[in-house]
Structure 1
Amino acid sequence: MNIVTSTVVFTVDDLAGSRRFFTTHLGFGEVLDTPSFTWLSRADGAADILLRQRDLELPRERAAQPVVAFAVTDLAKESERLQAEGARITTQLRRDAWGEWLMRLTDPNGIIVELTEWIPPSGA
């Protein structure tokens, strides 16, 4: 597997407050800011941070599960390999309209591993 970038994902109640904290105190810059998530990065190669607004329908304990995201190459091939190895796949490979392939695995302790591959958005 070729990992291109790493991202730590936090599900938060106060998206704006967390965004201010990481940009003001820890030197992260906004890459993308939407009403439901904010993507932060640093030029020094630190792992990116994705702040995701907690879905009010999702119980707080489920929203607090740790997530690490890796952007990879050839995710379709990796999906086949992981299925063959018997990995616990909790979200099957899917293509999102905004420009990514995505799948999720969960380790035996509940850590969610999100694998993504960026692709041109539909219609681009």
Structure 2
Amino acid sequence: MQESKDFYTRLFGCHVIFESDWFILLRLGNSDLGFMLPDLQFQPPIFQCALAGKGVWIAIDVDDVVSEYERIAALGVPIEVELRSEAWGDLHFAILDPNGIGIDIVEHHQPG
């Protein structure tokens, strides 16, 4: 969990709302992002499973995706999907967090 905390605070300026040895809650913009150790018997079953990052991604909207791309690349973070423009108008790139969750960093535009 320390690696996740470091990743999100360093790259996206998240603030720690709560932290313990089994759980961390981060503030990301207007949303919260939580990480919990798996198999904690005192938690409801829905929160006990370990997540391998399959089929889950987080989209982070930014005003200037080119600047974010340059900043994150300069930090040495591997870029999984290079900066690209999509037919539906998005300009984006993607990275992986330490848990294998895809992070899609997006600047929205109207298709043109």
- Provide TM-score, normalisation by structure 2: 0.50
What SS does the corresponding residue of 1:89 show, helix, strand or coil? coil
Aligned residue number for residue 96 of structure 1? 86
Inter-partner Cα distance in structure 2 for 1:120 and 1:86: 31
Aligned residue number for residue 114 of structure 1? 104
- AA aligned to 2:89 is G
- Call closer, same or farther: CA 1:81–1:63 in 2, change over 3 Å: closer
Displacement of 1:109? 2.0
Aligned residue number for residue 73 of structure 2? 83
Cα RMSD, aligned residues only: 2.8
Higher relative contact order (CA 8 A, sep 6+): 1
Inter-partner Cα distance in structure 2 for 1:88 and 1:108: 11
Identity of aligned residues (%): 33
What SS does the corresponding residue of 2:80 show, helix, strand or coil? strand
- AA aligned to 2:67 is K
Displacement of 1:65? 3.7
Runs of 4+ in 1 over 4 A off after TM superposition: 1-6
Displacement of 1:120? 2.6
Aligned residue number for residue 68 of structure 1? 58
Displacement of 1:85? 0.7
Displacement of 1:102? 1.3
- Equivalent pairs, count: 67
**1:54-111 superposed Cα distances (whole Å, 9 cap, x missing partner):** xxxxxxxx99342111111100011011111111210011011211101111022211
Q: Which runs of 5+ in 1 are unaligned?
A: 7-61
Do 2:53 and 2:99's aligned partners in 1 also have CA atoms closer than 8 Å? Answer: no
- Provide TM-score, normalisation by structure 1: 0.46
Do 2:85 and 2:91's aligned partners in 1 also have CA atoms closer than 8 Å? Answer: yes
- AA aligned to 1:85 is L
Inter-partner Cα distance in structure 2 for 1:77 and 1:105: 15
